[in-house]
Structure 1
Amino acid sequence: MHDDNPTIHIERFSEAHIEGITALYNDPAVARQVLQMPFQSTEVWRQRLQAENDRAVKLVALHEGVVIGNLGLEAFSRIRRAHAGSFGMAVAVAWQGKGVGSKLLTAALDVADNWMNLHRVELSVYADNEAAISLYRKFGFEDEGLFRDYAVRDGQWVDTLSMARLRRSTKT
């Protein structure tokens, strides 16, 4: 696989990244594309980090030590949904379209497939976020449904698209 941007490094989210994660999600342009509230404190992210469990992996994308992206993947805990998980991600505005999302998804889906043995990975994305939808489709995610008036953004109700990727067995 060709590495489009070797200056982007992926690693597990840790205490060292809390201020960077807080800054990422407090950028108004990033906050409007995710389901996080604006003006979150570093303590909110510290608590999320401390809520670590073995059914989740939390990644950061770094450039020269600065957090430029984040992805959290979690397998569902209910026994009848244990084959499935979901993720959410964000990329700093200046880094969108530069391979950060692809690197995060490559790393997360490797863990989902080869370590968590997930058959199904799902997500929700704002229906007008064409760049993100295109990225997800590139990784094999397919549209499953439209949630009308799912969330509020900029004082307006907005739709989200439900997408999922089913891992097919490669054994014959």
Structure 2
Amino acid sequence: MEKITIRHAEKRDAAAIQAVYACPNAYTGTLQLPWPSTDKWESRLAATSNHISRYVAEIEGEIIGELGFEVYEQPRRRHVASFGMGVKDSYQGRGVGSALINAMLELTDKWMNIKRIELTVYTDNHAAIGLYKKFGFVIEGESKDFAFRNGEFVSVYHMARIK
């Protein structure tokens, strides 16, 4: 298996991140829309914030995945973060998601004092649900008709990991 490198996303990565979310599985499994624009990703990467971080996964210099997480700014929820990620279709099932989540947990557990990490995942995204469970995330609830995808409403699970 190829070595996966995780690093902080840079402005110059916008086109490569756009290519991740242009993959059908990546935009179908997230709240992203098809045909993402590079300009949108350039704007996201240019906007600096102390509470939002973005990381990319690379193999031999090719960006194959992205993970963004946000620490809540509300004073009573500063111990909580949420995240979302996407992996290029051709690299799914090859450890990229695990590498991204491992890096995030290293940071949140050992450096940021984050106690709770939350996410939403489509109820039919069995691979992602299995991945999250592997890292200690549990299903806490379900929202029916949460999002509109490919011509129909779909439900999500709310999952969380408490350290």
* TM-score in same-fold range (> 0.5): yes
CA distance, structure 2, for counterparts of residue 93 and residue 37 of structure 1: 15
Counterpart residue number, 2:37? 41
Q: TM-score, normalised on structure 1?
A: 0.91
CA deviation vs aligned residue, 1:36-83 (integer Å, no higher than 9, x gap): 122221111111112221222210011121111110011001111111
CA distance, structure 1, for counterparts of residue 101 and residue 151 of structure 2: 30
Q: Which of these residues, 88, 92, 103, is aligned with residue 88 of structure 2?
A: 92
CA distance, structure 2, for counterparts of residue 55 and residue 116 of structure 1: 11
Counterpart residue number, 2:153? 157
CA distance, structure 1, for counterparts of residue 93 and residue 13 of structure 2: 22
Question: Cα distance, 1:6 vs. partner?
Answer: 4.8
CA distance, structure 1, for counterparts of residue 43 and residue 52 of structure 2: 15
Q: TM-score, normalised on structure 2?
A: 0.96
Counterpart residue number, 1:170? none
CA deviation vs aligned residue, 1:6-33 (integer Å, no higher than 9, x gap): 5211111112211110111112231111
Number of residue pairs the alignment of both structures matches = 163
Contact 2:2–2:59 under 8 Å retained in 1: no
**Per the alignment, in what secondary structure is the counterpart of residue 72 of structure 1?**
strand
Which letter does structure 1 place at the counterpart of 2:148?
V
- Gaps in structure 2 of 5+ consecutive residues: none
Runs of 4+ in 1 over 4 A off after TM superposition: none
Matches within 5 A, 1:6-155: 6-155=2-151
Instruction: Choose 22-31 or 80-89, whichever is displaced more.
Output: 22-31
Q: CA RMSD in A?
A: 1.0
CA distance, structure 2, for counterparts of residue 110 and residue 55 of structure 1: 16
**Per the alignment, in what secondary structure is the counterpart of residue 124 of structure 2?**
coil
CA distance, structure 1, for counterparts of residue 96 and residue 22 of structure 2: 18
CA distance, structure 2, for counterparts of residue 39 and residue 162 of structure 1: 27
CA distance, structure 2, for counterparts of residue 45 and residue 111 of structure 1: 23
Which letter does structure 1 place at the counterpart of 2:64?
I
